[in-house]
Amino acid sequence: MMDPRMLRPLPRRGSGVLLLALGALLHAAPSIQAQAASTTGASAATAQGAWAGTHAPARYRAAVDSLRATLARLQSAEAIPGMSVAVIVDGRLVMSEGMGYADLENRVPATPLTRFRIGSVSKSMTAEAVGLLVEQGKLDLDQPVQKYVPDYPRQKWPITTRQVGGHLAGIRHYGAPGEMLSSRHYNDVRSALSIFENDSLLSEPGTRYFYSSNGFNLISAVVEGASGERFLTYMTSHVFDPLGMRSIVADHVDSLIPWRASFYERGENVRLTWSVPLVGAVDGRSLTNAPYVDQSNKWAGGGFLSNSEDLARFGWAHVEGGILKPGTISLLTTSQRTRDGKETGYGIGWFTGVDDAGRRWFGHTGGSVGGRAVLVVYPEQRVVVAVLANLGQAPLTRPFGLELARMFVGAGE
């Protein structure tokens, strides 16, 4: 079972969340101010607004120090405004820290409570709903998607939820930049499928791997058809709340969401250019406010917010104490194969593989407008690492996440 001491209490959903969050910030403010005052000569991006974080057990201290130094170097080199990291080892939260700023303009520190955009890590969470519905006998992965979304246009070949979840259905990814940067609001997930539903498939299903966020948006409609509930309602009631993940919410741009970070981009071709001398620039490119986007066209594929602790908590639920049976977790985290037998390195909602030492891992990265995320799980070594950033170009890649996680593999033995 999950150690009840593993994670600090998180604000509950509802009217009291803002007061709870404000209280936490006021409680933390003295340590934040003291640290900023004592590091005047250091980089503003890494020194001011840094969070004291958790106190790691002695046996993990070297790994924590190494990871912290690695992130500090990355933040300085890439001019990342704010970051947050959480690490769970053997059911215990051994590191939880924020670095830099959640909001540059107002100098709001990033903390473990800061909610960042997690991008495509949302796919792993959507896969959790798929797994639950399979266990309940409400979803057959190998039936055509029209069984659950009857009005979805039929293609030259039938496509199944298993194929869609493994990026083997031939559904295209985002097309024109306007799809990723869409500011149009869709009232329901079914209407958002109009973006791609009449497009031809890229290949015969099962024959080739084509990564597709659009495909996962189709899965959200499948979840609705199989469950009889609206997708976001189902995710909250059956995934987030049962796992105690109180910070994970849909990134509704018209809602007041406590602890939501501000989001930034870097480069010459982004609107609302605003140079930030305290943080700096990389290769002469200044930081900018991220363009306005409405995430309602991609909830399942990339539309959720989370803090780093809840993201790590979600990863740990696939090691121990979660809501899915072990066989279902294996189903989601085992690589699918193309028709000719080649492994794709992707199950249903999870990348998966083995590292150079032969150790099995699974995880996901996420890229969104003004945000990056990486989640890595070493199930046999019982290590989970989650890192979030509020910069669209932050290089939180899968190899980088594996590098961080390996710092804790074997640590403390």
Residues of the domain holding 227: 123-235
Amino acid making up residue 272? L
285 bridge partner residues: 282
- Look-up: residue for tokens 């002469």? 284
Gap between the Cα atoms of 188 and 230, Å rounded: 8
Evaluate whether residue 217 is within a structural domain: yes
Evaluate whether residue 175 is within a structural domain: yes
Q: How many residues are present in the chain?
A: 413
Residues 315 and 389 in one domain: yes
Query: What local confidence, expressed as pLDDT, does residue 132 receive?
Result: 98
CATH number of the structural domain spanning residue 153: 3.40.710.10
Alpha helix segments (H runs only) across 5-137: 17-38, 61-78, 121-135
**Contact (Cβ atoms closer than 8 angstroms) between residue 264 and residue 309:** no
Q: How many helices (H) and strands (E) does the chain have?
A: 12, 12
Residues 30 and 159 in one domain: no
Domain finish residue from 211, 235, 259: 235
Query: What local confidence, expressed as pLDDT, does residue 276 receive?
Result: 40
Gap between the Cα atoms of 172 and 215, Å rounded: 8
Q: How would you classify residue 345: left for phi > 0, otherwise alpha for psi between -120 and 50, otherwise beta?
A: left
Gap between the Cα atoms of 22 and 31, Å rounded: 15
Residues 6 or more apart in contact with residue 147 via CB below 8 angstroms = 140, 225
Is residue 66 classed exposed, middle or buried when 0-12, 13-18 and 19+ CB atoms within 10 A define those classes? middle
Residues 43 and 93 in one domain: yes
Residues 146 and 58 in one domain: no
Parallel, antiparallel or unpaired: strands 108-109 and 287-289: unpaired
Evaluate whether residue 412 is within a structural domain: no
Domain finish residue from 235, 256, 280: 235
Evaluate whether residue 180 is within a structural domain: yes
Task: Determine the 3-state secondary structure of 171 from DSSP.
Answer: coil
**Contact (Cβ atoms closer than 8 angstroms) between residue 405 and residue 132:** no
Residues 397 and 260 in one domain: yes
Gap between the Cα atoms of 226 and 241, Å rounded: 20
Residues 252 and 391 in one domain: yes
Residues 274 and 380 in one domain: yes
Prediction pTM value: 0.85
Domain finish residue from 209, 235, 261: 235
Evaluate whether residue 142 is within a structural domain: yes
Evaluate whether residue 342 is within a structural domain: yes
**Contact (Cβ atoms closer than 8 angstroms) between residue 331 and residue 348:** yes
Residues 193 and 259 in one domain: no
Gap between the Cα atoms of 284 and 301, Å rounded: 32
Query: What local confidence, expressed as pLDDT, does residue 55 receive?
Result: 62
Q: What percent of the chain has pLDDT over 90?
A: 77
Residues 369 and 255 in one domain: yes
Evaluate whether residue 62 is within a structural domain: yes
Q: Which residues of the chain have pLDDT under 50?
A: 1-53, 269-284
Residues 36 and 112 in one domain: yes
Evaluate whether residue 88 is within a structural domain: yes
Residues 213 and 306 in one domain: no
Task: Determine the 3-state secondary structure of 370 from DSSP.
Answer: coil
**Contact (Cβ atoms closer than 8 angstroms) between residue 370 and residue 392:** yes
CATH number of the structural domain spanning residue 34: 3.40.710
Residues 153 and 78 in one domain: no
Alpha-carbon dihedral sign for residues 71, 72, 73, 75: positive
306 bridge partner residues: 116
- Count of domains observed in the chain: 2
Query: What local confidence, expressed as pLDDT, does residue 43 receive?
Result: 33
